[in-house]
């Protein structure tokens, strides 16, 4: 199979420029722009309904932005189908998880492991020949915290608690050997100890070279990881920068006024 040689990209890994989206009369995104640099963990925060998931959907092709431009590795991806975007290495988790509940956890990874991207990149980590995919699937799950010895990877997805389902969602992205993972609220619904165990996992992914965008309401946990955040409010980007500094900006304080998230971040 012939793949076009990608053009060298000296700019940001992802460049979102003036992206807007309306649903009926609702302006869900209004001229949102930001750059994502390779290796970053970038947070996307904002009150409920501020446009965070719409932004993720627009970047990953699940909805089409009305206007603006989205470039990934220097290539225009606006209007591309989600599976094509994933094939380029830009993947996402879903806020509402969608595993195949009737299948064992590890079988949920078989489809991404059979994807053209996983085949092309030669399997999980280290390259080389793709081994038995069931084994590779269990390996991935073990890497992200499914204890192989207690048979958790083999349990049906429907029997897994939220903490494991969140990890399974992440594992489905990792099976594609992504360059970027956009995590839509990976901390939501997790206990304090589950969240605490998720933090080193995210750090490890970053150390392994994966660039992360994290859409989060859990500011305290997010700010331990993210070096940069953008803040949305009513579809507009109202701030961007280092987390602690951004939270001091009057418009951000006003957007979060009265919200529990801000009280829980300090
Ligand atoms: N498919 C849709 N049809 C109509 N309106 C939508 C649709 N998707 C989102 N919206 C509206 O767009 C706005 C932004 O929604 P979005 O889900 O992106 O916000 P959010 O910041 O992710 O919210 P939350 O933090 O509650 O998940 C909201 O007013 C929402 O009701």
Of 175, 201, 220, the residue that ends a domain is 175
* Alpha helices in the chain, H assignment, sequence order: 52-59, 82-87, 110-113, 116-120, 133-143, 162-174, 192-207, 219-225, 243-246, 250-255, 260-265
The verdict on 121 and 45 lying in the same domain is no
Ligand 1 atom at minimum distance from 185 CA: 27
* Domain interval for residue 152: 96-175
CA of 135 to the centre of ligand 1 (A): 39
Q: Number of folded domains in the chain?
A: 2
The answer to whether 226 and 243 are in contact (CB under 8 A) is: yes
Domain boundary among 175, 192, 223: 175
Which of 119, 148, 175 terminates a domain? The answer is 175
User: Which of these, 36, 37, 81, 33, lies nearest to 57 by C-alpha position?
Assistant: 81
Predicted-complex ipTM score: 0.97
The reply to whether 165 and 102 lie within a common domain is yes
The domain spanning residue 183 has which CATH number? 3.40.50.300
Q: Are residues 134 and 100 in the same domain?
A: yes
Nearest-CA residue for ligand 1 atom 26 is 48
| Residue 142 and residue 24 share a domain | no
Tens-place pLDDT, residues 177-226? 999 999 999 998 888 888 898 999 999 999 999 999 999 999 999 999 99
Among protein residues, the one whose CA lies closest to atom 23 of ligand 1: 49
Q: Is 73's pLDDT higher than 90?
A: yes
DSSP for 70-131, written as a single string: EEETTEE-TT--HHHHHHTTEEE--SS----TTSBGGGGGHHHHTSHHHHHTTSSSS-SS--
Instruction: Name all residues whose Cβ lies below 6 A of ligand 1.
Output: 23, 26, 28, 46, 48-54
123 and 171 share one domain: yes
Q: How confident is the model over 14-59, as pLDDT tens digits? A: 999 999 999 999 999 999 999 999 999 999 999 999 999 999 999 9
Q: Can you tell me whether residue 256 is helix, strand or coil?
A: coil
């Amino acid at each position: 199979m012939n793949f076009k040689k990608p053009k060298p990209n000296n700019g940001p890994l992802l460049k979102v420029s003036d992206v807007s989206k309306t649903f009926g009369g609702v302006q869900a995104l209004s001229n949102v722009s930001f750059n994502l640099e390779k290796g970053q963990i970038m947070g996307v925060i904002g009150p409920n309904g501020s446009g965070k998931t719409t932004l993720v959907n627009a970047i990953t092709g699940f909805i089409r932005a009305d206007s603006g431009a989205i470039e990934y590795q220097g290539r225009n991806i606006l209007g591309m189908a989600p599976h094509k975007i994933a094939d380029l290495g830009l993947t996402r988790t879903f806020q509402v998880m969608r595993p195949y509940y009737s299948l064992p956890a590890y079988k949920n990874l078989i489809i991404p492991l059979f994807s053209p991207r996983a085949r092309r990149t030669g399997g999980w980590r280290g390259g080389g020949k793709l081994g038995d995919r069931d084994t590779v699937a269990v390996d991935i799950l073990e890497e992200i915290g499914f204890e192989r010895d207690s048979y958790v990877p083999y349990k049906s997805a429907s029997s897994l608690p939220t903490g494991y389902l969140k990890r399974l969602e992440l594992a489905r992205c990792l099976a594609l050997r992504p360059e970027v993972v956009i995590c839509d609220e990976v901390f939501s619904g997790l206990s304090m100890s589950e969240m605490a165990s998720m933090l080193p996992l995210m750090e490890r992914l970053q150390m392994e070279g994966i660039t992360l965008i994290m859409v989060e309401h859990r500011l305290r946990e997010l700010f331990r990881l993210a070096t940069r955040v953008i803040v949305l409010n009513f579809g507009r980007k109202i701030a961007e920068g280092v987390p602690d500094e951004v939270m001091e900006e009057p418009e951000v304080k006003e957007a979060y006024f009265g919200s529990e998230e801000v009280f829980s971040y300090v």
